[in-house]
Amino acid sequence: MRIPVLSVRNLYVAFATRRADLVALEDVSFDIAEGEILGVVGESGAGKSVTGAAVIGLIEPPGRITGGEIRLKGERIDNLPLSAMRKIRGKRIGMVFQDPLTSLNPLFRIGDQIVETMMVHLDLSAAEARRRAIELLGEVGIPAPEQRIDAFPHELSGGMRQRVVLAMVLCTNPELIIADEPTTALDVSVQAQIIALLKRLAKSHGTSVMLITHDMGVIAETADRVAVMYAGRIVEIGPVREVLKNPRHPYTQGLMGSIPTLTSDAERLVQIPGSMPRLNARPPGCAFNPRCALAIDRCLCERPPLVGDDRAKVACWLVEAEEGAEQRGEVLS
């Protein structure tokens, strides 16, 4: 069995306050295989971006990892000193943020920034790095890369800047890319181009991708597997086609029901009542139970574990009850 590129096990992240620690991530576990795109989806506040920041070592105080472990190709990285993590960040793990200007310095030409990144992490001369930068800009779809390499970030459109960031991330041949809402600020046509680019890069470079988004359409188009997060936990994970066609957790069902389709005859879309609980106001039991129309008594007092096989898992007492009834030959109404 091949070692996954990224393995996260029982990850906890908390933020210290004067009164108590607020738990942002609770018992999060998942793997990403080589060349695989894992989509991480959920509402704002679900813990998606915190998960990505924890993997790349960008949790800022007062936040900290309080439990679990993160392994990159079998090597544990969550307990490394800052100097060692800096060598991994940018070389073995790349990050694509929602706003490309977060990654690009507006005072320097894009080519100089890509060249500097390569010279920091790779044994290349300035001339070799510049040639490689031009190749990468062409690979990510920048027209006339020989001329564009000397442009400043403000001279490029949002979609072009995001392509430059992807070129900068790819220049060190990372094993993993964490893409945090990479298409949110772009128009629909450019979104489609960036999605196609991510898929092509994952396939051609064998790079693993953790794609963080709230857009189920992006997940359906891009990901191989999807992890659905709610209130700091993964509530369902599995192959993207299975999860989208046959969602098992009530929260996933609500997300899918809220998306309009051309084939549906429904007059109204499904609405999930309420909102995501605050970190200091999560209910006992399943965190989704105040918004769930299917909640049973057990949901109000016990938190369901994420269970299943290697292919798909779900954290829901109702699913467990249904599976138990099926095994006994019963039918639940």
* Whole-number pLDDT of residue 14: 96
* Whole-number pLDDT of residue 123: 87
Contact of 170 with 205, CB cutoff 8 Å: yes
The number of domains in the chain is: 1
- pLDDT of residue 333 exceeding 70, the answer is no
Residue 293 located in a structural domain: yes
Domain that holds residue 317: 6-92+174-262+269-328
State the CATH number of the domain containing residue 194. 3.40.50.300
* Whole-number pLDDT of residue 192: 82
Amino acid found at 1: M
Whole-angstrom CA distances from 156 to 78, 176, 228, 282 are: 36, 26, 34, 43
Q: Assign 48 a pLDDT band (cuts: 50, 70, 90).
A: very high
Residue 15 located in a structural domain: yes
DSSP H helical ranges for the chain: 48-56, 82-88, 110-121, 126-139, 145-148, 158-170, 188-205, 216-222, 240-245, 250-257, 317-328
Residue of 16, 11, 1 lying closest to 227 (CA atoms):
11
Q: Assign 186 a pLDDT band (cuts: 50, 70, 90).
A: confident
Please state, in angstroms and rounded to a whole number, the distance separating the CA atoms of residues 96 and 87: 17
Q: Assign 264 a pLDDT band (cuts: 50, 70, 90).
A: low
Residues pairing with 22 in the sheet: 15
- pLDDT of residue 178 exceeding 80, the answer is yes
Please state, in angstroms and rounded to a whole number, the distance separating the CA atoms of residues 279 and 22: 6
Give pLDDT tens digits for 206-248: 899 999 998 888 888 889 999 999 999 999 999 999 999 999 9
Give pLDDT tens digits for 152-161: 999 999 889 9
Residues pairing with 64 in the sheet: 14
Residue 143 located in a structural domain: no
Cβ neighbour number for residue 27 with a 10 Å cutoff:
18
* Whole-number pLDDT of residue 205: 82
Residue 254 located in a structural domain: yes
* Whole-number pLDDT of residue 314: 96
Residue 80 located in a structural domain: yes
Average pLDDT over residues 20-29: 94
Contact of 133 with 149, CB cutoff 8 Å: yes
* Whole-number pLDDT of residue 332: 54
* Whole-number pLDDT of residue 328: 57
Average pLDDT over residues 263-271: 69
Contact of 231 with 287, CB cutoff 8 Å: yes
Residue 155 located in a structural domain: no
Average pLDDT over residues 263-284: 82
Give pLDDT tens digits for 102-160: 889 999 999 999 999 999 888 899 999 999 999 999 988 899 999 999 999 999 998 89
Q: Assign 72 a pLDDT band (cuts: 50, 70, 90).
A: very high
Please state, in angstroms and rounded to a whole number, the distance separating the CA atoms of residues 48 and 39: 10
Per the prediction, the chain carries an average pLDDT of 89
* Whole-number pLDDT of residue 218: 85
Share of the chain above pLDDT 70, in %: 94
- pLDDT of residue 331 exceeding 60, the answer is no
Pairing of strands 225-230, 233-239: antiparallel
Q: Assign 263 a pLDDT band (cuts: 50, 70, 90).
A: low
Residue 101 located in a structural domain: no
Please state, in angstroms and rounded to a whole number, the distance separating the CA atoms of residues 6 and 34: 9
Residue 257 located in a structural domain: yes
Average pLDDT over residues 196-210: 86
**Strand ranges across the sheet with 6-16:** 21-32, 6-16, 63-72, 75-76
Q: 101: exposed, middle or buried (C-beta count within 10 Å: 0-12, 13-18, 19+)?
A: middle
| CA 138, chain centre distance (Å) | 26
Q: Assign 195 a pLDDT band (cuts: 50, 70, 90).
A: confident
Average pLDDT over residues 162-168: 91
